[in-house]
Amino acid sequence: MPEAAEVELIKVAVFDVKSYDKVSFDQALKERKMNDTFEFVYLEPRLTVETANFAAGCDAVCCFVHDDLSGDVLAKLADMQISLVLMRCAGYDKVDLQLCRNLGINVVNVPAYSPYAVAEFAASLLLTLNRKLHRSFNRVRNGNFTISGLVGFDLYGKTVGVIGTGKIGQCFIDIAIGFGCKVLCYDLYPNEVVKQKRNTFYVPLNELYANSDVISIHVPMMAENYHMINKQSLNKMKTGVIIINTSRGALIDAEALVESLVSGHVGGAGLDVYEHEGNYFFCDCSDVELADETLARLTNMRNVIITSHQAFLTEEALRAISNTTLTNLDEFYVKELREAQLRNYVAPPQLTSGVSMALEQRSLGRHKVVGSYARRQELMAKEAVKGSSSAECVSPASTATSPTSFEAVLNNSATVIV
């Protein structure tokens, strides 16, 4: 009796992985019974030009906020016939989308995982800053039970400015309303649902700056809003304003923010992101001096709280990220959807009308000779019945362009979490 054909799994190289990522993905694969379809290869290093070869032998890469998906990296991925980039986050500001499309690489993201997680974290930053909980905590730890210098203010009756009224922004608006605040909103595309919320108003950006006691930022990073919070906009804000940023660091000119904090014009800042965070965030830098002088100044200010891009980090968010990523994989490799057909496809700016033709021309990376996943497995089974020891048309060795085997690369230099 002929032996059953060995199923060739779709391999995904997961870069910049942490222990919680592995737990979450493994659980999702098991619960959705996808272990016989996809294999995740967990890699600690971030994706860079130097580490791109770690993806050799894989079909897709799964990336996070600090992974580099610029020209040189994408060229390497294309040479290895990587056909899909899975962003396990909403942001894609480090991805050259147009080049991806030119190279035949589809990009998908996780547009919404838990807006509550980020909005609640933004609120916690605000509460901690206002009531000076971080300072009180440190005092008590050192046996100091005095409360002088810890005076805050009631949020009730204050005006909160919300820049960006997407899902996260709307969650934060609801929290502010719950505290009894008046909410001023700004968004290029006002939302009708937001307009119906109690004590909530869309206003021009300058009016929001001038009248808000608290400003919370919830917009994506784009070239158009780079350093939208700068010296000029800060000068338009009320004295003593508290600024919260859980979106992207480059939305704020950090040096200008430091100046306003030192002068007292800005009363406090809660930052879960920083423009140059990639050099530090998610890393243990406790034994080295911070070379970034602006970041060093911010971390030493009593009216500033900086956290390491953790606003998303809840069990619910991790579960949603894992499941959406698996759905994105299933749509691409099993259902064979492409570009605009993919529910979470990230299109390059000004995507042209030639999508339909491009959809038909897209390959399946190193499996392009065979076509669909189901068809590939069918052919492998037929080869096994014939007594063939291998299915030549789907052999990674016969189609991959990288001369270095994936296993050899891992053994030489990659760090893998097991």
* Catalytic (active-site) positions: 248, 277, 309
Concatenate the DSSP letters of all residues of 181-250 into one string: -EEEEE-SS--HHHHTSTTEEE--HHHHHHH-SEEEE-----GGGTT-BSHHHHHTSPTTEEEEE-S-GG
Concatenate the DSSP letters of all residues of 349-391 into one string: TT--STHHHHHHH---GGGTTT-SHHHHHHHHHHHHHTT-SS-
121: left (phi over 0), alpha (psi -120 to 50) or beta: alpha
* Separation between Cα atoms, residue 49 and residue 369, nearest integer Å: 28
Buried b / exposed e over 167-183, threshold 16 CB at 10 Å, is bbbbbbbbbbbebebbb
CB atoms within 10 A of CB 342: 19
